[in-house]
Amino acid sequence: MARRLALITGASAGIGAASARIYADHGYDVAITARRGDRLEALAQEISLRFGVEAIPIVADLADPAAPAAILEAVAAHGREVDALVNNAGYGLNGTFAATDWIDQRDSLQVMLTAPTELVHRVLPGMVERKFGRIVNVASLAGLVPGSVGQTLYAGIKSYLIKFSQSLHLENLNTGVHVTALCPGFTWSEFHDVNGAREMLNASTPAWLWLGADEVAASGYEAAEANRPVCVTGAPNKAIAAFAKLIPDDWALALMAGQGGRFRKV
């Protein structure tokens, strides 16, 4: 029997690259997609040599509405179907909503909300038919706490991914398809280098709040195998998420009011 195939978006670095290695280590072939072709080619070669599986690099920009269909067409051109999907591609924008360009906000919605939703919709029927599927939507702790300054769409998108995953989890009970929203907090990756917040975060956040991308990706894999609808990574983040549920909304919002400037350029 052919090995199962995992499709990972945003796979050129961070949680995406770590997820590709973890699925390969568990015997999956992988299709990895991102914008940076050189990174993808290098990762594909590493995975093939290290784990002895097939690694298919697919260069695509999820800001293009045609990208999800094109990615799955590339997978099909290799005679493959998607057995596991990790919707990981994402990034943060700097600035308040009014101070940013609409095109940038539109693209963030396409990359982090519309594209992952479309990918799930396209691969889910086949998973149900084959009675096997794993879907990990990489959300964030930001989706479980009140929104803060400078996270105008980001937090809302991540909250959507959590609710979306919970509903999918319930709709697919007893089908063999497992759905998980992975909710990391601060993670060592290129995410904060891209939005220019690395130096600010290093100065304002303690080391014990941070997890490695490998640890986060492993938690996502394990949660999907166990069919847990939501996985918050790390004890401190679990405590923060629980605390946010317990206190009144106006208290929680007041606590967040002054935090945006610590975590993101605004």
- Give Rg (Cα) of the chain: 18
Residue 78 and residue 30 in contact, taking contact as beta carbons nearer than 8 Å: no
- Annotated catalytic residue 154: yes
Nearest alpha carbon to residue 188 among 209, 204, 161, 164: 209
| From 28, 154, 160, 221, active-site residue | 154
Residue 200 CB neighbours (<10 A): 15
Question: 65-98: string of b/e by CB count within 10 Å (b at 16+)?
Answer: eebbeebbebbeeeebbbbbbbbbbbebbeeeee
| Dihedral over Cα of 165, 168, 169, 175: its sign | negative
Q: Quickly tell me which residue has 């670095």 as its tokens.
A: 13
Q: Which long-range contacts (CB under 8 A, 24 or more apart) does 63-71 make?
A: 63/107, 63/110, 63/111, 64/110, 65/110, 65/114, 67/115, 68/115, 68/118, 68/119, 68/122, 69/118, 69/122, 71/7, 71/9, 71/31, 71/33, 71/119
* Residue type (1 letter), 100: T
Tell me the catalytic residues.
Answer: 154
